[in-house]
A and B are shown apart, each in its own frame.
Chain A
Amino acid sequence: MTGMTGILQTKRNQLIALAVLGVLLAVLPFVAGAFGQAWVRILNMTLLYVMLALGLNVVVGVAGLLDLGYVAFYAVGAYTWSLLASAHFDLHYPFWVLLPLGAFLAALAGLLLGTPVLKLRGDYLAIVTLGFGEIVRILMNNFDKVGLPWSDKSYNLTNGPRGITGIDGLNFFGFKISNGLEIFGLQITSLQLYYFVFLAFAILSVIGVSRLQHSRIGRAWQALREDEIAAKAMGINTRNVKLAAFAFGALTGGLAGGLFASMQGFVSPESFGLLESIMILAMVVLGGMGHIPGVILGAVLLSAMPEVIRYAADENMQEKLFGMVLVAPEVLRNLIFSLAMILIMLFKPAGLWPSPEKK
């Protein structure tokens, strides 16, 4: 890594590196598309995970508040979009209402979680946040029959475990992304269009989160993580600073949730389980807590790796290597994945790309 940062010292080289990265990111969906649209979808999910990991990084990596229920905010964003832009209630609000609303409601949920846990730290905080994540999922599972104490009627709010189908896609003032696009004979599929939208949001998240992290409030978050008593003695109102961390982390998650619903066209509580929260946390920890490039790397690796292993570990490959199928592909996939995570934590306990020792 030292060599790389060395090269990136001069402004000119930085610009060149940025341009190369830009071209790569622009070509990527078309390369992936050549292997099948499933790969484009994987790319899109990776971009959403980058956003989620960045959001969780604000809470866990920067402010040092362990959150095991982060996926709840993703769910809030996704359900906001799904309920207000689908056949379920026959509501069809535009994206410029839904995305900000989803982000806002997620931030509100962040405050809702943040307020009762202000005095908790470490394990205790983890347990409560874990519970919060489960509460949100269970609510979505059971809000298909919401009764009111003063009437016998029950309302179907979330359609329960069956989930919500027929969700509107992104629709830019009349231009429907789901139709795809043809310019100069180049066929761009709807998933590839989603890729560029998600990429834009991911880049905005990177810029927003990194600016926050290197600001007065970002330093207050880090001070809180390092030593709460000393932070208070420096005049930092730790209550407000903690709530801000929960709210901003949740906001990013809510935004990603709305985008997820628009691309997927279907959401159900199943997508927002504890395992998902842990996965996002693993991205942050494995990448390098509190260090944005590390967190992005973690998100890209952990969301893409299972898919790559899925192809590498299938029956055909095993037939070729051993002459028979030794382990069911799904089991092998989890096995390799877990092993990789254990190895990273053993040899790189601070993450793959931790923040540098000298700034």
Chain B
Amino acid sequence: MMADMLFTAENITKRFGGVTALDNVSMEIPRASIFGLIGPNGAGKTTFFNTLTGLYQVDEGKFTFDGQPLNVKAPHQVAEVGIARTFQNIRLFGEMSVLENVMVGRHVRTKAGAFGAIFQTAATRREEAAIMQRSHELLDYIGLSKRAGDKSRTLAYGEQRRLEIARALATDPKMIALDEPAAGMNATETIALRELIERIARDGTTVMLIEHDMRLVMKVCQHLAVLDYGRKIASGTPAEIQKDPAVIKAYLGGAHTEVTK
């Protein structure tokens, strides 16, 4: 095994009735890198993501995360282990303020209970102040401090995407998984997103990117894995992937490959 892998998947298989959605998929993600998971529609990207985040249980194979076997029984345990995620179709807490959205992200790293809240114990007040401070820092980080008090549903589309990332970062993740973060973004917004992703990785959080935008993926990722019909058909650096005949075939169809030959 290579030096410092944060996450490994070994021979993951997931079946739904007769359909094999994931077939013997393995991959490794080095620490503090940006890793891209790509593939045509229906390739199994989301299924892979859902098994990893505890929504489905795997039929065969195992995950290792940060040196420990990853064994989540319920979705809420994933954040505790250190994997945070964003959603393909933005899922913010719309009626809560921008700041409160990020504060919810601190939930899993804090512990004040109802008793502490009602009697405003010293420990609770201290924790609350720390939550507030960290959340403001994260809003600064993504450049949304000015909107802290606004309801999150009033944000522009690109801002909502960024807020979702801040909320995920608030859980102190070792790995952040972004599910098609560039979907629906214009060119300027995509560039801002790219810079944010690169900054997150530089600051030490591993990024797993599930994305359709090939330009973004090729530019930003250090490693890629390509899924097609539930199987991993290729993995490597963006340059290697771009030349891989199996990938070209999967994306452009068999006939085209024959023509180019």
Contact = CB atoms under 8 A, between A and B. Distances in A.
Contact of A236 (B96, B107, B118, B131): B107
A233 interface: yes
A226 B97 contact: no
B76 A237 contact: yes
Given A212-B118, A222-B93, A229-B75, 20 more contacts: A211-B118, A212-B117, A215-B112, A217-B117, A223-B93, A223-B96, A227-B93, A229-B87, A229-B91, A230-B91, A231-B104, A232-B76, A233-B53, A233-B76, A233-B78, A233-B87, A234-B104, A234-B168, A235-B80, A359-B97
A188 B212 CA distance: 75
A195 interface: no
A161 to B, nearest CB: 37
B108 interface: yes
Given A211-B118, A211-B120, A219 B151 contact: no
B18 interface: no
Interface in B40-94: 53, 74-80, 84-85, 87, 91-94
A234 B171 contact: yes
A226 B114 contact: no
B96 A215 contact: no
11 contacts: A212-B114, A216-B127, A217-B117, A222-B100, A230-B87, A233-B78, A234-B167, A235-B107, A236-B108, A357-B154, A358-B151
A232 B95 contact: no
A244 B114 CA distance: 9
Contacts of B95: 222, 225-226, 290, 355
Contact of B117 (A216, A223, A229, A355): A216
B107 A216 contact: yes
A232 B91 contact: no
Question: Would you list the 9 A-B pairs with minimal beta carbon distance, nearest first?
Answer: A235-B108, A235-B79, A215-B117, A226-B93, A230-B91, A232-B75, A359-B149, A216-B112, A223-B104
Given A223-B96, A235-B171, A217 B84 contact: no
A208 B115 CA distance: 10
A248 interface: yes
A220 interface: yes
B206 interface: no
Interface in A238-283: 238, 244, 248
Contact of B96 (A216, A219, A244): A219
A229 B168 CA distance: 13
Interface of B: 53, 74-80, 84-85, 87, 91-97, 99-100, 103-108, 110-114, 116-118, 120, 124, 127-128, 131, 149-151, 154, 167-168, 171
Contacts of A234: 76, 79, 84, 104-105, 107-108, 167-168, 171
A110 interface: no
A218 interface: yes
A230 B94 CA distance: 11
A232 B111 CA distance: 16
A235 B78 contact: yes
Q: How large is the interface on A (under 10, 10 to 19, 20 to 34, 35 or more residues)?
A: 20 to 34
Interface of A: 208, 211-212, 215-220, 222-223, 225-227, 229-238, 244, 248, 290, 355, 357-359
Contacts of B96: 219, 222-223, 226
A248 B114 contact: yes
Given A211-B117, A223-B104, A217 B112 contact: yes
A357 B100 contact: no
A233 B131 CA distance: 18
A205 to B, nearest CB: 11
Contacts of B118: 208, 211-212
B114 to A, nearest CB: 6
Contacts of B99: 359
A359 B120 CA distance: 21
Nearest to B127: A216
A227 to B, nearest CB: 5
B150 A357 contact: yes
A235 B76 contact: yes
A7 to B, nearest CB: 19
Residue from B53, B94, B95, B151 having most chain A Cβ neighbours under 10 A: B95
Contacts of B100: 219, 222, 359
A211 B121 CA distance: 11
B112 A227 contact: no
Residue from A222, A225, A226, A237 having most chain B Cβ neighbours under 10 A: A226
Contacts of B106: 216
B78 A217 contact: no
A299 to B, nearest CB: 21
Contacts of B131: 216
Contact of B150 (A215, A223, A355, A358): A358
A215 B120 CA distance: 9
A215 B128 contact: yes
A236 B149 contact: no
Nearest to A247: B114
